[in-house]
Structure 1
Amino acid sequence: MSEHQAERAQLSADIDAAALQKAEEYIEQEEGAANRLKGWLAVFVTLTAVAMSAFHLYTAYAIVPTQTLRPVHVAFVLFLSFLVFPVAARYRHRVMWWDWVAALLAVAVAFYLVQGGDDLTDRNTSPLPWDIFFGVCLIALVLEAMRRTAGWVMPVICLAFIAYALAGPLLPAPWTHKGYEVGRLVGVMYLTLEGIYGTAVDVSSSLIILFTIFGAFLQYSGAGRFYIDFSFSAMGGKPTGAGRTVVLASFLLGGPSGSGVATTVTLGSVAYPMLAKVGYEKNAAGGLLAAGGLGAIISPPVLGAAAFLIAEFLKISYLDVLLMAVIPTILFYFALFLMVEIDARKYGMGNTTFEKVDTVWNLTRHYWFHFLSLVSIIAFMLWGFSPVLSVFWATVVSFLTSFLRADTALLPRDLFRGGVLRKFSDSGFMKAMEGGSIGVLNVAATCAGAGVIVGVVTLTGLGLKFSTIVIDYAGGSLLLTAIFTSLVVWIVGLAVPVTASYIICAVIAAPALTKLGVPDFAAHMFIFYYAVLSEVSPPTALSPFAAAAITGGDPYKTTLQCWKYTMPAFLVPFMFVLDPSGQGLLLMGSTKALAHANWWSIAEVTLTCALGIAALAAGFQGWALRRATRLERALLIVAGILLAYPGWIADLVGIALVIAVLAIQVLRPLPQPA
């Protein structure tokens, strides 16, 4: 270890252990408080998780019928959830008899469905008593798995939707519908591919888990450590180096993980001492760390789990979703870079620097293959592979390239020199295979629960009712409909994770935008970005709360700082929906449309949006060329909003306001020293 690495390690060690423990608690709020089992139980859970990963890697390459893949996937998820996550905190770190009953019942539910074949599907409108029994058991098991992995909110919402389906005739207009009996509801949820085994579980079983396995392979091959070291090396030694390092490292770490909280904690434990050293106060440092973590959910090549659902809902290629995310992601990190540049001046960081970890050349020369693992996914897609096969082969690439260095090898090079079984069981390969399955449990359980909501919405026509109500309240105005839709998504996101928030709003809120002429892809990306905003909104502001635990700051002040850092980028989604020119930010939604696109229009709207983000960043920070007055801040914020609204008149007024503020600052005399 070099001198500078030792220094950084010592600075990281200075963070109070209690703070890191508190941050881990926020991860548990998102991913569930897992048991730490010992002995044969730990071995059994590990082998089951490895078997789950092996099964899904097999299904990526081989052909497994949908009617088999989805029930088996849910069975694995439920079985492991009941063994890994306790029913209550006082039963943690042990498996009780009721956990075994629930786990085995989950297997029985899947077995009954798979062995029943097409006969079960054919009688979904009039199920038999045993069909109803196993269907009710499945719903109950999914609700309990969600409660254990993500808390009470999502199960309560699912129960509310079930109540809505059962009590249709009793509801007031315009919410009333004919109502459905338990048998009919269970038939849709259990015996068809439109309920629990619907689109969300399809994506979870075919894409999300494979990307989770891929992320685990990168983690245990040392890619995460390399991305942080590379960022410190590339951005260190400059006044803005600490802030830039957080921005770059959050992109590199978050791209393959797709988890905001995990990225925030992983990066924060290393980077916060550097932020403190260059002059960031606790809340500002936490806000920047949380904002960087938030970028993980919107950054290619993985994005968050909701991105896979966008591709499935719209029936488009995942490569098209990645394409749509390119410019918004660049603009998001452009906003963060502007913010840290302003921070350096605002907090007087000009004379404070920190040392690099190592040279970029040395790090790249030794660990270049970690970048290959990232870009290989895109390369395979461009080569014509499906997203499933692309991530499968990218995982294979990550596994094989790990052997280029002994310190990154997922299997020890001396594996066959005695103690083979012990070395294999302790290897990074086994940990990655286990981590891939364990890491997907909370998202997969949420996807299964979301199937209940989607099934009810489809059965009752709730989505069309809701969109009609929203449009009526907005008086047919697209701007007001977009504002109301963003508020609905934001409110839903206050209570549930990003994936669930997107699924719920995609089926109930997206139709309101599409009815007014917004293309499907723009409406769904709009909803996706506002679902992501839930990550920094109390009471589920897990990323800022985790960052505050590390920095020792106030959770709510840290959340406000995070809002400050991310707010400029969150006006961008309005450009997707308010004017056809704004769709250029999404590169027209597909590779086919891009081939016939007006590149000048795309460049124009991108530059206009970038200028608007810069104006908002300066306005929120209170600093442009120098410290801004209240009037200058107000003018910059108005200019930013106008530039984010498509239309040449708004753009001209916004540009004029920016020029006016800059001219005022240039002409204003400097304050005389006391």
Structure 2
Amino acid sequence: MNEPARVSLSEAAAVSSESLQKAEEYIEAEEGAANRPRGGLAVFLTLGAVAMSAFHLYSAYSIVPTQTMRGVHVAFVLALTFLLFPVARRFRHRIMWWDWLAAAIAIAVAAYAIRGGDDFTDRNTLPLPWDVAFGIALIVLVLEAMRRTSGWVMPVITAAFLAYALAGPWLPAPWTHKGYDVGRLVGVMYMTLEGIFGVAIDVSSSLIILFTIFGAFLQYSNAGKFFIDFSFAAMGGRPTGAGRTVVLSSFLLGGPSGSGVATTVTLASVAYPMLSKVGYERNAAGGLLAAGGLGAIISPPVLGAAAFLIAEFLKISYMDVLLMAVIPTVLFYLALFLMVEIDARKYAMGNITFEKVQTAWALARRYWFHFLSLVSIIAFMVWGFSPVMSVFWATAVSLATSLLRRDTSLIPYDLFTAPGKLGRKLLDMPLTRAMAGGSTGMLNVGATCAGAGIIVGVVTLTGLGLKFSSIVIAYAAGSLLLTAIFTALVVWIVGLAVPVTASYIICAVIAAPALTKLGVPDFAAHMFIFYYAVLSEVSPPTALSPFAAAAITGGDPYKTTLHCWKYTLPAFLLPFMFVLDPDGRALLLMGSAKAAAGADWLLVAKVTLTAAAAIAALAAAFQGWALLRTSAFERVLLVAAGLALVYPSGLANGTGFVLLLLVLVMQLARRAAHSAKPRIS
């Protein structure tokens, strides 16, 4: 009998610094290559970031006028972006005179708009020369901020939308529109709450930054370390222990963070040696780690930044978005669990135990309050608090509970023991770093939201969304299935070039109308687009999570991406269920009228079980393994079964169950025949 593989925590963390440096480069590809100044300059920037977090925590509890709130938020985002992100890599870790100038102009532009008050917004159709000058400056600053934090793609796309607005009369049909001059364009983008200061910045300033602050509080109170240790302790001892550890810890880490690539890197740096020791080859291990990180973007209570935008676009509560995400999230992790169960048999993995790790019960008894931080947001929402107040009080709970233990406290126990060093201690304490990290961690998202506001403004001004939806429907000949396929392809193609948040915003305004015109409810159309926008995390050339995982495992980035697709694809076929049929919308807990009222739970159960069977069939097909290795014919039957179960039709679903049962019978017969063969001693 094989001895179980033993992995110590020090061994699990034995990832080379070179691999971590490569992974850091992929994070920088998403979040930009930030400066790391020293001395007084570092103190100044830290205090600026803390001030940004303090302002937004204050605005969550108090009342700040909308125009002031969004203006101050954009000023903070742009100013800190120009001071923290260099114009080019060769200027990294230095702040040049042009960075200071850009930051000053950003503050001046916001101050001019705020001081203008109602008179400023009222003259948006006939702006003054100074209005136009400041508006052009803001648009240029937003484009440059996006370039510094996320690369060239998003600024180029945004500039193309601006060009579309200006060049309307000269465009070929059906893209023609009357066109708008610079003054009118600036009036919408700068002087109203429809452009740069629109919905995306509203969500960024009121929710996204508060959730990043909350995530930073959890990080600096060592909640992430506890979640990984707890997963190790809870899942060790079985052949599937390594894979299950990755799946559980990715959910616990990803839920509060909402960042796919950050979750992937954090987990991979600890878990890859364990996966390697039990039999995962490099690319398969990287694919599983990236798939787990991807779950961070679709997992309550935070999801990704795009989830907050769904609530704002649909004018529903964030709690409704969380409810819509519950069953799809469970099914996503079901797919991952099935995949790791198959991996254990496919690769003939052995048992694994973890040395020098406390039991799960002992860890939970000492650090139980970290679980409280996870559920507190939901608890406050159920209690009747708004999402903004819920995350505010959840952050307060996280701060208070961190004080229960010396090794988790955000305020050091020895803070006042050396009065002469109090200033330095205040700057270095975890609470200060969490406040600063909460602001700097969302600068790339804030810049993207400002740029997305330009795109939304152009789409609204020119009617591009209706034009695009008419074209898609015409190509699909009015078929809902073809329209859904075309929409998924459009979202996927856009996601190849831009991050999840930007991909969702662009497609929500240009592609969602195509689905709603054919009778799909708004909530189902937006969730469909959201889930396919998430695919940008695992789609080259911006497959940041798999590429970061490959940097740590030493695997091939593109092979790792393909493995990640294999692990995640079963769950990502499910959005078709809640677009193509009213019953399928029960997966979002907002399906039929009865399901929406909470009466028809039998429908919810039936659709969920059908979806789970579809996931199981597709997981076995993509892995080439069910009860044992599948033949080519069995894989074809499994793919057909999975697709039939996804398609919302009684006949199709019945056929899918029959095909799945047929494969299981064939496999059982083969296993019985193999067991009956006489063994030669």
* Matched-pair contact (CA < 8 Å) for 1:239–1:353: no
Query: Can you give the 5+ residue segments of structure 2 that lack an aligned partner in the other structure?
Result: 1-5
Hey, what's the Cα distance between the residues in 2 that align with 1:331 and 1:312? 25
The answer for the alignment partner of 2:36 in structure 1 is: 36
Query: For 1:624, what is the secondary structure of its paired residue?
Result: coil
Q: Deviations over 1:165-221 (max 9, x none)?
A: 000000000000000000000000000000000000000000000000000000000
Over 3 Å counting, the alpha-carbon distance change for 1:654 and 1:356 in structure 2 is farther
The answer for the alignment partner of 2:446 in structure 1 is: 444
Query: For 1:623, what is the secondary structure of its paired residue?
Result: coil
The answer for the alignment partner of 2:248 in structure 1 is: 248
The answer for the alignment partner of 1:3 in structure 2 is: none
Over 3 Å counting, the alpha-carbon distance change for 1:316 and 1:267 in structure 2 is same
Q: Structure 1 residue 615: deviation in Å?
A: 0.4
Hey, what's the Cα distance between the residues in 2 that align with 1:13 and 1:598? 48
Q: Structure 1 residue 449: deviation in Å?
A: 0.2
Q: Return the TM-score normalized by structure 1.
A: 0.98
The answer for the alignment partner of 1:347 in structure 2 is: 347
The answer for the alignment partner of 2:651 in structure 1 is: 649
Q: Deviations over 1:148-170 (max 9, x none)?
A: 00000000000000000000000
Query: For 2:175, what is the secondary structure of its paired residue?
Result: coil
* Matched-pair contact (CA < 8 Å) for 1:581–1:605: yes
The answer for the alignment partner of 2:559 in structure 1 is: 557
Q: Aligned Cα RMSD in Å?
A: 1.5
Does residue 1:670 correspond to 2:665, yes or no?
A: no
Hey, what's the Cα distance between the residues in 2 that align with 1:395 and 1:205? 16
Over 3 Å counting, the alpha-carbon distance change for 1:32 and 1:239 in structure 2 is same
Q: Structure 1 residue 351: deviation in Å?
A: 4.8
Over 3 Å counting, the alpha-carbon distance change for 1:635 and 1:582 in structure 2 is same
Q: 1:574 aligns with which of 573, 576, 580?
A: 576
Q: Structure 1 residue 10: deviation in Å?
A: 2.5
Hey, what's the Cα distance between the residues in 1 that align with 2:354 and 2:38? 43
Hey, what's the Cα distance between the residues in 2 that align with 1:324 and 1:33? 35
Query: For 1:239, what is the secondary structure of its paired residue?
Result: coil
Q: Deviations over 1:481-502 (max 9, x none)?
A: 0000000000000000000000
Q: Deviations over 1:605-629 (max 9, x none)?
A: 0000000100000011011111100
Report how many residues are paired. 670
Q: Structure 1 residue 14: deviation in Å?
A: 2.8
Hey, what's the Cα distance between the residues in 1 that align with 2:51 and 2:303? 26
Residue identity matched to 2:626:
A
The answer for the alignment partner of 1:635 in structure 2 is: 637
* Matched-pair contact (CA < 8 Å) for 2:582–2:591: no
Over 3 Å counting, the alpha-carbon distance change for 1:399 and 1:354 in structure 2 is closer
In the TM superposition, 1:71-86 aligns within 5 A as 71-86=71-86
Hey, what's the Cα distance between the residues in 2 that align with 1:596 and 1:7? 47
The answer for the alignment partner of 2:3 in structure 1 is: none
In the TM superposition, 1:210-609 aligns within 5 A as 210-351=210-351, 353-355=353-355, 357-418=357-418, 419-588=421-590, 594-609=596-611
Over 3 Å counting, the alpha-carbon distance change for 1:562 and 1:181 in structure 2 is same
Hey, what's the Cα distance between the residues in 1 that align with 2:626 and 2:371? 36
Over 3 Å counting, the alpha-carbon distance change for 1:591 and 1:43 in structure 2 is farther
The answer for the alignment partner of 1:622 in structure 2 is: 624
Residue identity matched to 2:141:
L
Q: Structure 1 residue 422: deviation in Å?
A: 2.0
Q: Structure 1 residue 8: deviation in Å?
A: 3.4
Query: For 1:424, what is the secondary structure of its paired residue?
Result: helix
Q: Structure 1 residue 358: deviation in Å?
A: 1.7
The answer for the alignment partner of 1:114 in structure 2 is: 114
Over 3 Å counting, the alpha-carbon distance change for 1:12 and 1:360 in structure 2 is closer
Does residue 1:129 correspond to 2:121, yes or no?
A: no
Hey, what's the Cα distance between the residues in 1 that align with 2:134 and 2:413? 48
* Matched-pair contact (CA < 8 Å) for 2:538–2:564: yes
Over 3 Å counting, the alpha-carbon distance change for 1:592 and 1:655 in structure 2 is closer
Hey, what's the Cα distance between the residues in 2 that align with 1:203 and 1:369? 29
Q: Structure 1 residue 354: deviation in Å?
A: 4.6
Q: Structure 1 residue 423: deviation in Å?
A: 1.7
Q: Return the TM-score normalized by structure 2.
A: 0.97
* Matched-pair contact (CA < 8 Å) for 2:9–2:357: no
* Matched-pair contact (CA < 8 Å) for 1:321–1:589: no
Hey, what's the Cα distance between the residues in 2 that align with 1:485 and 1:149? 28
Q: Structure 1 residue 543: deviation in Å?
A: 0.3
Hey, what's the Cα distance between the residues in 2 that align with 1:38 and 1:138? 29
Q: Deviations over 1:506-550 (max 9, x none)?
A: 000000000000000000000000000111010000000000000
Query: For 2:573, what is the secondary structure of its paired residue?
Result: helix
Q: Deviations over 1:53-104 (max 9, x none)?
A: 0000000000000010001000000000000000000000010000000000
Residue identity matched to 1:304:
G
Residue identity matched to 2:67:
Q
Query: For 2:395, what is the secondary structure of its paired residue?
Result: helix
Hey, what's the Cα distance between the residues in 1 that align with 2:595 and 2:194? 30
Hey, what's the Cα distance between the residues in 2 that align with 1:540 and 1:356? 38
Q: Deviations over 1:123-172 (max 9, x none)?
A: 00010000000000000000000000000000000000000000000000
* Matched-pair contact (CA < 8 Å) for 1:576–1:585: yes
Hey, what's the Cα distance between the residues in 2 that align with 1:171 and 1:347? 57
Over 3 Å counting, the alpha-carbon distance change for 1:589 and 1:217 in structure 2 is farther
Hey, what's the Cα distance between the residues in 2 that align with 1:512 and 1:393? 39
Hey, what's the Cα distance between the residues in 2 that align with 1:469 and 1:169? 19
